[in-house]
Amino acid sequence: MTEKPQVIGTASGALGLGAFAAAVGGCCGAPWAVALFGVTGAIGLARLAFLLPYALIGAAILLGVAFWSVYRPAPASADGACVSQSQRRPLRILVWVAAVLVAALSVVAFSPFASS
Amino acid sequence: MRIVAVMGCSTMALLAAADCSGVGDQDAAPSYVALDDQASELRADFNRAKGSVRLLFVIDPICPTCLRGLDDMNRDLLASTDDPRLVTFVVHEPVLGAARVAPWLRTTASHDVPAAAELLHNPHVKHYWNASGAFGRLLADSVDLKSSRGRVYAWDVWLLYGAEATWSDAEPPRPLLLMQQLGALRDSSEFPHLDSRVFAERVRALLAKLPPQGGSPPAPAPKTP
């Protein structure tokens, strides 16, 4: 199944961008940045805050690609047989889990505590 | 025996050096004054500096956005001058986390102040720690800091006072300029979002009107590409 690496790659990329957005968005309101990264690191994180919307847009695009990959009409394999729906189920679960996690990370990024 | 003696002397020298790196060393962490709920010490210092341009910064010392603001102020204004006509007061207060609604969950503590204070490299800066956070309410009342939803607690705010300002009432006087980085005041036209370059320009304009004294005035803002 050639779509497997593509789905895993795009879902992981979306999660990574979501985590980045949560870090730069949540850093400014949560009291952990200085403890974890020190004063200089926390300032650096605050300076990256302008990237937050771009990271979330990127995550949404990657999730869209992942959903398209697992819900498009199944491509025929080399011997002419179609990929069965049951073979795609784990990938669909993976994409849905990634989508839920990215949504949760977006909430963290835009939480009321995320901006001073 | 000789080796033991040399080692003993080395140890003593190291201990002495370690001792010297604490209190009394010029490179020691900046000190701060504990502020009472009436901000008495700040008020006295503010009035004592009458005749100077005064800056008042109110921050949480573990708030990354506030720290970035301090760093910007240092870069664009304070690091380039030792002008005694410019005096800066920084009030640190606990805000992040649940500090204001559940003080027992407070995460910001006085030991966070020195690391934040080290961001400002200017001989005329004084730091205060207001553990109760009462100063934020006092200042919010005095400058009428509010959004469409109501009163906004004063922190991550950056105030500029002229040489003639006097703190005569219980509350601080109204500033010439108040900039802020508060989400609740994102669309405020009265209190613009912090722009350290604009802030520095206003400070330089005020200093230019004062009679000259010792010290080098703030360097002009670097040209932006």
Note whether B65 contacts A: Cβ–Cβ < 8 A.
yes
Per-residue tokens: B167: 């703190």
Instruction: From chain A, pick out residues whose CB is under 8 angstroms from the CB of B62.
Output: 31, 33-35, 42
Note whether B103 contacts A: Cβ–Cβ < 8 A.
no
CB contact under 8 A, A34 and B112: yes
3-state secondary structure chain A: CCHHHHHHHHHHHHHHHHHHHHHHHHCCCCCCHHHHHHHHHHHHHHHCHHHHHHHHHHHHHHHHHHHHHHHCCCCECCCCCECCHHHHHHHHHHHHHHHHHHHHHHHHHCCCCCCC
B6 domain residue, yes or no: no
CA distance A90 to chain B (A): 39
B17 domain residue, yes or no: no
B119 domain residue, yes or no: yes
Task: Say which CATH number the domain at B103 has.
Answer: 3.40.30.10
Q: What is the pLDDT of residues B54-96, one digit of tens each?
A: 999 999 999 999 999 999 999 999 999 999 999 999 999 988 8
Rounded Cα–Cα distance for residues B207 and B84 (Å): 10
B22 domain residue, yes or no: no
Does ipTM exceed 0.85? no
Structural domains of chain B, count = 1
- pLDDT 10s per residue in chain B (225 long)? 454 444 444 444 443 343 333 333 445 667 899 999 999 999 999 999 999 999 999 999 999 999 999 999 999 999 999 999 999 999 999 888 665 566 566 577 888 899 999 999 999 999 999 999 999 999 999 999 988 888 899 999 999 999 999 999 999 999 999 999 998 888 888 899 999 999 999 999 999 999 887 666 677 766 555
Domain encompassing residue B115: 29-208
Rounded Cα–Cα distance for residues B121 and B117 (Å): 9
B146 domain residue, yes or no: yes
Query: B91 pairs with which residues across the strands?
Result: B58, B128
B34 domain residue, yes or no: yes
Which pTM value belongs to this model?
Answer: 0.76
